Structure 1
Amino acid sequence: MRTKERYKTKSAVFVMFIYDDKVLCQKRQNTGFMDGFYDMGASGHVEEGETLTQAAKREVKEELNIDIDKERLKLVTTIHHKSEDEVYYYFYFSYILHAQDEYDFSINEPEKNEKLIWLNMSQLPEDVTVYNRQAVDNYYRHIPLSELGF
């Protein structure tokens, strides 16, 4: 009897820094994937042995050079995304900012990040990736899971 190979996927985390109706985004460059499109303020792969919140905290430090309180991360949606050649689980966390928060958001990886910008969540521009656009919609509508590309 032939055994079936287990389905393998990759996983990534996205941190949505939210203030009022705006979300912090970075414009990707020189990564070889979705360059020229807006991504969340921090995002990246989950590494072996990491929890999702550890990966989110690490990515924020690597990309924005700030330390966050992982207790303030709230899982808001998951997107199971299939592209032409890969399948991913994307885990989106919100990090709600308050007026008293004093974060100095800056680009820590200028070779991969062209700029940081606060985008209006209810009027995202066309150059936001389809899965990030779906994540913002899920956030507003309290949808815990979307499946794209299947």
Structure 2
Amino acid sequence: MTERFKMAVAVHLFLIRGSQVLLLRRYNTGFEDGNYSVVVGHLDGGEDVIAAAVREAKEEAGIDLRREDVRVVGVMHRKARDERVDFFVAADRWSGEIVNCEPDKCDELSWHDRERLPINTIPYIRQALGNFKAGIWFDIMGFQAE
């Protein structure tokens, strides 16, 4: 029997405060270091997308999210070095103070106006934030037209 294709699945968390989004600057990871992303993590298996977002919020930013405060706002099928499916979720309510819980992987957590993202925001994150604003729920990025 032929083994089926497998790919990584990640959940990206848009923490929203008014017109701003929380960005983190990647550091010492070997992927997009020095560029801005959002709280993100791979699904561990045996957990749903919302549970993964709640877990990552605690692990990376030290905050507690309630499941009912997290909403799925987009999905992207993308290809760069490898092929991935990314879920994008948003929350504008949480408890606790945001802190950098992973200084070995992130050298800055900061709020940025969603209309004026830093030039060094990772392109697919920029695209996903634009999709969120426009109400576009699904996107494909990085594939060549056949």
Gaps of 5+ in 1: none
Report deviation, 1:63.
Answer: 0.5
Q: Decide whether aligned partners of structure 1 residues 102 and 68 sit closer, same or farther in structure 2, where only a CA change above 3 A counts.
A: closer
User: What CA RMSD, in Å, does the superposition of the two structures yield over aligned residues?
Assistant: 1.4
> Which residue matches 2:10?
12
1:24-65, Cα deviation, whole Å (9 max, x unpaired): 01111011111101111x111001111111111111111011
SS of equivalent to 1:81: strand
Report deviation, 1:146.
Answer: 0.7
Q: Between the two proteins, what is the percent identity of the paired residues?
A: 34
The 8 Å contact of residues 13 and 91 in structure 2, kept in 1 or not, is answered as yes
**Cα distance in 2 for residues equivalent to 1:115 and 1:96:** 20
**Cα distance in 2 for residues equivalent to 1:6 and 1:102:** 41
SS of equivalent to 2:133: helix
**Cα distance in 1 for residues equivalent to 2:128 and 2:111:** 16
Gaps of 5+ in 2: none
Task: Kindly report which structure 2 residues correspond to 1:1-150, keeping only aligned pairs within 5 A, or say none.
Answer: 5-40=3-38, 42-84=39-81, 86-97=82-93, 103-150=96-143
**Cα distance in 2 for residues equivalent to 1:65 and 1:107:** 7
SS of equivalent to 1:125: coil
